[in-house]
Structure 1
């Protein structure tokens, strides 16, 4: 194996490590909410900030990421992102509420930068393997999210770490990843752009294609986060017990990892991804109908698995569109920043509006019909984003 090949494989390994760091600090919180409430006495509203603050950071700092890459380069910005992710995560182990919330906001900024940078790094380092690399790193996001959710309570209670060190322990993993990433700084150089940041953002804002990509990113995230928040409640009302409802949510996430990996790999080499969008959204809508009509338990399992695959496939397509619709690494960073900033802002509305619809109607039919409408809008934006053209 040549030195160049070894370097490529090592870079793939590092990208996987980075991907594994971008979800645990967020998803590990949910299972520990009861412990945190009992320990701190915080209200549910304040506890909600532990998931809201990172999403707000995503919305604000995603679009600002190109400012960092122009000053300190892509590799340098990733090192900075891992550093503040580590600092913010470790801060949450400090026994003070200010450290808990300040660390949460700081790690959200680090994750926001990392989210935006990964597509640009793949575009720069693996231009001929965009689909495969997108499938690898995007599926690792799902794997780490699932693992962090599953081991939070065993670490806190079973191993006696307590909730603070359970949350803070992920900082050691990100610190290790930072050390492994540092050799990449040898090839780092700040981006020299022909257009100013303001001009680039203005041009993206006038691009219909960029907006279609951004809206697709937002709508697929909206459905994912909404079902993540409310699917167990929907299933429990249909007579499924708490334990099985939790396992079905885990099934949705687990099958989603498969869809996230497989979809970019299969469709990246095609001149157009429009038919892929059509089929994914079609089966997503069929699955939503399956959540509305009465079904035996085995039927629910099938439809939950299908919608999990579709949501994972949509996520993989969203990241792939950022690569395929941009000409180079710098434009990929800019499109990634815009689409994720707008996307997470859209996604943040979903769970709240979905819950409000249930409070208004006192049944799940209208809220699920809302997700059906979202799927139709996603089909429209994805159809346009799937065309073989550049921003």
Structure 2
């Protein structure tokens, strides 16, 4: 890592702060709409399936448009790509509240595409630093992403009650996104300076076993996460006879614990290994279905454990992406490959769990799917760390100003 007072250290601190601010703009605008879906549906006259698109379109976009980030970074560089993404996020936030169902869906689509691109770029930014600094940066933005999701879940409804749902899902995120845009503009530098570091020759994604295993691990993580977040309030109502409001508040424990997970992932990966981090995160996920089946009265314990597991698993995957991708063009391709494929699989989680519930008539089948996804996460994640290969010096940029 760079000297504590040198220009490299200042660049690290800038990227730590900027990536954390960016992460607040990457989930909260999407999550914020869920607590006010009833109001949105009533005001805009949307049908049930149309209003469901407001929360499913972004996840579909995360998978479908990750390749756009790879092309954009190759053409313009990571920070210029982030600038473009933030401009589209601002447009999406405004379009989403123009007052019609069509505008709401169009704005949501713009948000999904822009956030899909930024998702891929942040690990690329991390890869331009030393491994230690890149790991700290990854932990920073994953933690901030979870904090943003939690804040949006808890604050949107109260804010809408004293203003309107349009203000609640727009104003806070306009301010955050404009701040992130300012950082990206500053970090972009003069024309021509925002270019990726060249990759070492000879690395092929289609034959990279570690990248394919990380794709499997991230697919298991996202399927379990999106399936759980979609159905957990309903399961708590059905199994524990909670009110809708109480079930929603109880489900927020899952997001709260998710903030803790990334903070545990980095020290675990350093003190033990990334392999141990994957194993422990998968075990935490597996505790969730087993606990609900065997002792549903302790639901809050299983929810907290699974939330921490989700946060740690997400951080572990991105830490691994940064480590195996090196920097430059290969980092770009690995990030797009793992996240694009993983989010595409994860978008099926809510539908798959809902189908299992409808066919079986009980929550055991959906919980078994979550458990199976956790097994995939653990086995694939641990296996990806077992593949040893040297990283050429060209692929790890020093912490100096370029």
TM-based fold match above 0.5: yes
**Alignment match, 1:371:** 370
Offset at 1:3?
Answer: 5.7
- Supply the distance in 2 between the matched residues of 1:151 and 1:22 (Cα, whole angstroms): 17
Corresponding residue pairs, total: 382
**Structure 2 alignment gaps of length 5 or more:** 392-402
Does 2:5 match 1:2?
yes
After superposition, the CA RMSD in angstroms is 2.3
**Alignment match, 1:190:** 195
**Structure 1 alignment gaps of length 5 or more:** none
Offset at 1:62?
Answer: 0.7
- Supply the distance in 2 between the matched residues of 1:276 and 1:168 (Cα, whole angstroms): 36
**Alignment match, 2:127:** 123
Q: Map of 1:137-286 to 2, 5 A cutoff?
A: 137-158=141-162, 160=163, 162-169=164-171, 170-186=173-189, 188-191=193-196, 203-242=204-243, 243-268=245-270, 272-286=273-287
**Alignment match, 1:98:** 102
Offset at 1:194?
Answer: 6.8
**Alignment match, 1:113:** 117
**Alignment match, 1:361:** 360
**Alignment match, 2:341:** 342
- Supply the distance in 2 between the matched residues of 1:176 and 1:283 (Cα, whole angstroms): 35
Query: For the structure 1 residues 328 and 192, does the alpha-carbon distance in structure 2 shift closer, same or farther, using more than 3 Å as the test?
Result: closer
Q: What CA deviation, in whole Å up to 9, does each residue of 1:76-131 have, x standing for no partner?
A: 11111111111111222322333222211111111111110111101103533233
- Supply the distance in 2 between the matched residues of 1:30 and 1:309 (Cα, whole angstroms): 22
Query: For the structure 1 residues 52 and 302, does the alpha-carbon distance in structure 2 shift closer, same or farther, using more than 3 Å as the test?
Result: closer
Q: What CA deviation, in whole Å up to 9, does each residue of 1:251-270 have, x standing for no partner?
A: 11111110122213320475
- Greater shift after overlay, 96-105 or 28-37? 96-105
Offset at 1:301?
Answer: 1.8
Task: Report if aligned partners of 1:22, 1:115 keep a CA contact under 8 Å in 2.
Answer: yes
- Supply the distance in 1 between the matched residues of 2:75 and 2:366 (Cα, whole angstroms): 45
TM-score (norm 1): 0.91
Offset at 1:29?
Answer: 0.8
Task: Report if aligned partners of 2:214, 2:381 keep a CA contact under 8 Å in 1.
Answer: yes
Offset at 1:66?
Answer: 1.7
TM-score (norm 2): 0.89
- Supply the distance in 2 between the matched residues of 1:323 and 1:311 (Cα, whole angstroms): 19
**Alignment match, 2:62:** 58
Task: Report if aligned partners of 2:24, 2:145 keep a CA contact under 8 Å in 1.
Answer: yes
Aligned-partner SS, 2:194: coil
Task: Report if aligned partners of 1:120, 1:330 keep a CA contact under 8 Å in 2.
Answer: no
Offset at 1:167?
Answer: 2.4
Offset at 1:238?
Answer: 2.0
Query: For the structure 1 residues 90 and 374, does the alpha-carbon distance in structure 2 shift closer, same or farther, using more than 3 Å as the test?
Result: same
Query: For the structure 1 residues 109 and 94, does the alpha-carbon distance in structure 2 shift closer, same or farther, using more than 3 Å as the test?
Result: same
Query: For the structure 1 residues 163 and 176, does the alpha-carbon distance in structure 2 shift closer, same or farther, using more than 3 Å as the test?
Result: same
Q: What CA deviation, in whole Å up to 9, does each residue of 1:167-208 have, x standing for no partner?
A: 232223212321232111116333475799xx98xx323322
- Supply the distance in 2 between the matched residues of 1:17 and 1:379 (Cα, whole angstroms): 30
**Alignment match, 1:318:** 317
**Alignment match, 1:308:** 307
Aligned-partner SS, 1:370: helix
Query: For the structure 1 residues 67 and 367, does the alpha-carbon distance in structure 2 shift closer, same or farther, using more than 3 Å as the test?
Result: same
Aligned-partner SS, 2:247: helix
- Greater shift after overlay, 342-351 or 149-158? 149-158
- Supply the distance in 2 between the matched residues of 1:53 and 1:195 (Cα, whole angstroms): 36
Aligned-partner SS, 1:325: helix
Task: Report if aligned partners of 1:218, 1:344 keep a CA contact under 8 Å in 2.
Answer: yes
- Which of 18, 38, 45 is the aligned partner of 2:42? 38
- Supply the distance in 1 between the matched residues of 2:12 and 2:158 (Cα, whole angstroms): 36
- Supply the distance in 1 between the matched residues of 2:160 and 2:249 (Cα, whole angstroms): 21
Query: For the structure 1 residues 54 and 252, does the alpha-carbon distance in structure 2 shift closer, same or farther, using more than 3 Å as the test?
Result: same
